[in-house]
């Protein structure tokens, strides 16, 4: 969201670069701004929206459901890709690797609703969207931190 993509042409070019593999990572910095911070003149508001809770579903919808990319390529770009960019030994399943896992029900569809966000923020351009791929379980370092809509 910073810099914001100004036109549909900009958006299309970024998506094409992802599909071609020119952009090796898809990530979000999850910028959860309080409502009062965003409720100001556009040029005074901080950049960003919450993205962590919707990133996978939006990416599946845009890239996989459209047939532009296989799910395995998308998963790679959202796991190993970002880890490689920042130099972390993450994003892969291997003996001795951290057990950071996200289990996703790819057949499940869900609606983005403001009241369902776990973040302290609610500013999302995707409210009302129906998205594929519900996250059902998350492990970080082998420890269960999220299951079926609840933070543990």
Spatial separation of the C-alpha atoms in residues 23 and 25, rounded to whole Å? 6
Q: What is the pLDDT of residue 98?
A: 87
User: Which pTM does this prediction carry?
Assistant: 0.88
Per-residue model confidence as pLDDT tens digits over 50-84: 888 999 999 999 999 999 999 999 999 999 999 99
**Any idea which residues carry the catalytic annotation?**
29
Spatial separation of the C-alpha atoms in residues 45 and 105, rounded to whole Å? 35
List the single range of 19-23, 30-34, 101-105 with lowest mean pLDDT: 30-34
CATH number of the domain located at residue range(s) 8-151 in this protein: 3.20.20.140
Task: Give Cα 80 distance to the centre of its chain.
Answer: 14
Domain range annotation of the chain: 8-151
* 29 HSE (CA, 13 A, CB side): 7
Q: Which residue has the higher pLDDT, 60 or 36?
A: 60
First-to-last alpha carbon distance for the chain, in angstroms, is 29
Confidence of residue 1 (pLDDT cuts 50, 70, 90): low
Per-residue model confidence as pLDDT tens digits over 114-138: 999 888 788 888 999 999 999 999 9
Per-residue model confidence as pLDDT tens digits over 99-113: 899 999 999 999 999
């Amino acid at each position: 969201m910073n810099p914001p993509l100004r036109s549909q042409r900009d958006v299309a070019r970024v998506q094409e670069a992802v599909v071609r593999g020119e952009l090796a990572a898809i990530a979000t910095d999850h910028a959860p701004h309080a409502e009062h911070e965003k409720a100001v003149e556009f040029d005074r508001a901080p950049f960003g929206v919450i993205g962590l809770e919707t990133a996978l579903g939006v990416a599946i919808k845009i890239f996989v459901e459209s047939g532009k990319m296989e799910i395995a390529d998308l998963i790679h770009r959202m796991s190993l890709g970002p880890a490689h960019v920042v130099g972390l030994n993450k994003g892969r399943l291997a003996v001795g690797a951290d057990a950071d896992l996200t289990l996703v029900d790819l057949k499940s569809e869900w609606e983005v609703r403001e009241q369902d966000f776990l973040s302290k923020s609610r500013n999302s351009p995707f409210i009302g969207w129906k998205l594929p791929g519900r996250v059902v379980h998350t492990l970080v370092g082998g420890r269960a931190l999220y299951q079926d809509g609840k933070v543990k």
